Amino acid sequence: MVAANLTGAFLCTQQPFTLMKSQQPRGGRIINDGSISATTPRPNSAPYTATKHVITGLTKSTALDGRPFDIACGQIDIGNAATEMTARMSSGVLQANGEIASEPTIPAEHVARAVVYMAGLPLEANVLTMTAVISRRRG
C-alpha cells in the first residue's frame, strides 16, 4: 500500500513536474488522487489513512513549488466512488461508532466531471483540494 499510494504518487508527481519546468511553453497541471479517509478515516485503516495524509502534503508542497514555473497542483478527495471495490458498501461496513451500516456511493461519472473541471482551469487558477461525495451520509 505504501509503495502504490506514497512512492507511486511521489514519482508520478516528480517526473511530470521536471518535464513541465523545462518544456516550452512551460507549465502544466497535476491532479493527485487523495481520499476522504484523510479527513474522515475508517476503523482499522491507519496505513491507508496515513498514505492519504501524505498525498495532501505532497499536493500542497507541489502547488507551492510549482508557482514560479506555471505548474498548478490540486487534489481530489473521493468518498466511496461507485466501483467494484466499493460494491460491499451497500451491505454494510464498520463505522467509527462500532456499528455496521450501509454507505451510499457516488457515480464515477460525477467524479470524472469534477476532475475534468479541475483540469480545464487556466494555470493561473487552481483548485487545491476538492472533495467529491454523494450528498447523503458520510463526509
Neighbours of 29 (CB within 10 A): 20
For the question of residue 48 being annotated catalytic, the response is yes
Burial of 91 (0-12, 13-18, 19+ CB in 10 A): exposed
Q: What angle do CA 130, 133, 29 make, to 5 degrees?
A: 25
Catalytic residue among 16, 31, 33, 48: 48
Q: Hey, which residues are catalytic here?
A: 48
